[in-house]
Amino acid sequence: MKTIQVDLPEKQYSIHIEPGMLNHLGTWTAKIWTPRQIAVISDSHVAPLYEEQVIRQLSDAGFRVAAYQVPAGEASKNWMETIRLYRMLMTDHFQRTDGILALGGGVVGDLAGFVASTYMRGLALIQVPTSLLAQVDSSVGGKTAIDLETGKNLVGTFYQPDAVFIDPDLLATLPKRYLAEGYAEVVKMAALSGNGFWKLIEQINRPEDMLLHAEALIEQSVTFKAGVVMDDEKENGRRQILNFGHTIGHAIELLAQGKLAHGEAVSIGMVQLSALFEKYRLSPPGAAAILTNRLQAAGLPVASSLIGTPDFYEKVKNDKKNRGGRLNMVYLQALGRPALYPLPGDRAGLFFSGKMPEQER
Ligand SMILES: NC(=O)c1ccc[n+]([C@@H]2O[C@H](COP(=O)([O-])OP(=O)(O)OC[C@H]3O[C@@H](n4cnc5c(N)ncnc54)[C@H](O)[C@@H]3O)[C@@H](O)[C@H]2O)c1
């Protein structure tokens, strides 16, 4: 059992990582919550695999349980599903003293977290992430969100859970493409962290190694992300480094219209951005090659013909993380030494075509 403590000014809680944890979920939940009614929110892929076991665990521990399902996939992060969940909570007479347990990937975590933070001004929340992305990234940090027609994650809250329970064994049923996607975020965090975390990444030489080392990869990622979040919960400063690779990634993910998954786009974004920063001599020679080597070992793509098109420049310029007309791009001065490069939006074309004049760098 690995435990990582998250200490924020208004909330302290623990993230527990243990293979087989789902078999003890009732006991663990009873350590955190007094007897109450719990809504287990899951999706149509995860529920058939794990919901029965979770309900049994919670019932045996003395909780009353209601189970709600949403269709698997990003499309469920919307108002319709949010309102449907509110209505089910109303029908089952959920009170402010009850709780929500999110059992699923990042979609369920974001949606159930949003519902928990808004229903009756806030129900207690426990995250039980089931995808690698959710176990290493989205369940840590307290961001909840739903999407609007105009973009992803445009409505949401910062809402910390009472606990996060991570069972790496659940990854055995996760489709391989999603495993690799989550791993792109792991490589990102290892590159930002450097040292021992990067040494671990050097041991992942085939997709199967991700599962063999899952517990250690999750522990390192959660420790790193929790540390960043504790420094800067609301993303006003250091938390921005987690956007490494995301400016290019967001743009090509949108342009690929569903053909590139988010983690794949981030993988390409990290490598291509590092190649540019190498060219501008802000990242050391070989930075892009080191990342390429590690990402390809997990079967991730590192290049895309979408980069450099007029649509690409337009999307980069309008990136949602654009602040006051500036793109705060993250680059590596070295492994473990990230830095921010504020690029005026109107210079994006020059910068990304590799033609930024020397005096402007
Ligand atoms: N809140 C945050 O800080 C944060 C950070 C990063 C990403 N996100 C969000 O996370 C979402 C992506 O998360 P995701 O990649 O987990 O997507 P997801 O939740 O859609 O899960 C991916 C797929 O795997 C299935 N699945 C999950 N766990 C499984 C398991 N153990 N066995 C079998 N199938 C399983 C799901 O049903 C789904 O089909 C996006 O909506 C993104 O915006 C949030």
- Point out the ligand 1 atom lying closest to the alpha carbon of residue 173: 32
The identity of residue 229, as a single letter, is V
Binding residues for Zn(2+): 185, 246, 262
**DSSP-assigned letters across all residues of 51-90:** IHHHHHHHHHTT-EEEEEEE-SSGGGSSHHHHHHHHHHHH
Gap from CA of 133 to ligand 1 centroid (Å): 6
Q: What's 276's domain CATH number?
A: 1.20.1090.10
Whether residue 275 is found in the same domain as residue 216: yes
Q: Give yes or no for a contact between 143 and 110, defined as CB atoms under 8 angstroms apart.
A: yes
Distance CA 74, CA 76 (A): 5
Whether residue 167 is found in the same domain as residue 47: yes
Rg, C-alpha atoms of the chain = 20
Whether residue 90 is found in the same domain as residue 141: yes
Whether residue 96 is found in the same domain as residue 27: yes
Distance CA 248, CA 66 (A): 41
Q: Which of 148, 173, 198 is the C-terminal boundary of a domain?
A: 173
- Quick one: pLDDT at residue 338? 97
> What SS3 class is residue 46?
helix
- Quick one: pLDDT at residue 344? 87
Q: Which of 116, 145, 173 is the C-terminal boundary of a domain?
A: 173
Q: Which of 122, 155, 173 is the C-terminal boundary of a domain?
A: 173
- pLDDT tens figures, 237-266: 889 999 999 999 999 999 999 999 999 999
The identity of residue 187, as a single letter, is V
Q: What's 66's domain CATH number?
A: 3.40.50.1970
Gap from CA of 86 to ligand 1 centroid (Å): 21
Number of domains in the chain: 2
Whether residue 22 is found in the same domain as residue 87: yes
- pLDDT tens figures, 97-142: 999 999 999 999 999 999 999 999 999 999 999 999 999 999 999 9
CA distances for 211 relative to 29, 222, 265, 298, angstroms: 26, 16, 22, 11
Name the residue of 130, 188, 210 whose CB sits within 8 Å of the most ligand 1 atoms, as the mutation to test its pocket: 130
Gap from CA of 131 to ligand 1 centroid (Å): 6
Catalytic residues: 121, 143, 185, 225, 235, 239, 243, 246, 250, 262
Counting every residue written for the chain, the total comes to 361
pLDDT at 354 over 90: no
Give 358's pLDDT tier (boundaries 50, 70, 90).
Answer: confident
Gap from CA of 134 to ligand 1 centroid (Å): 6
- Quick one: pLDDT at residue 307? 93
Residue nearest to atom 10 of ligand 1 (CA): 106
Q: Which residues span the domain enclosing 269?
A: 176-360
Average pLDDT over residues 163-185: 98
pLDDT at 347 over 90: no
Q: Which residue has the higher pLDDT, 361 or 59?
A: 59
pLDDT at 324 over 80: no
Whether residue 259 is found in the same domain as residue 122: no
Pocket of ligand 1 (CB under 6 A): 43, 45-46, 49, 72-74, 77, 104-108, 110, 130-131, 133-134, 137-138, 141, 143, 152-153, 170, 173-174, 178, 181
Whether residue 153 is found in the same domain as residue 252: no
Considering the entire predicted model, what is its pTM? 0.96
Residue nearest to atom 13 of ligand 1 (CA): 106
Whether residue 283 is found in the same domain as residue 245: yes
Whether residue 126 is found in the same domain as residue 104: yes
**HSE-up of residue 17 (Cα within 13 Å, Cβ side):** 23
Residue nearest to atom 35 of ligand 1 (CA): 174
Whether residue 320 is found in the same domain as residue 214: yes
pLDDT at 361 over 80: no
Whether residue 258 is found in the same domain as residue 131: no
Gap from CA of 176 to ligand 1 centroid (Å): 13
Average pLDDT over residues 188-216: 97
- Point out the ligand 1 atom lying closest to the alpha carbon of residue 170: 31
**DSSP-assigned letters across all residues of 303-350:** --TTTTSHHHHHHHHT-TT-BTTEEEEEEEEETTEEEEEEEEGGGHHH
Proportion of the chain above pLDDT 70, given as a percent: 100
- pLDDT tens figures, 329-342: 999 999 999 999 99
246-265 burial string, b = 16+ CB within 10 Å, else e?
A: bbbbbbbbbbeeeebbbbbb
Distance CA 346, CA 331 (A): 19
Distance CA 272, CA 291 (A): 10
Whether residue 218 is found in the same domain as residue 140: no
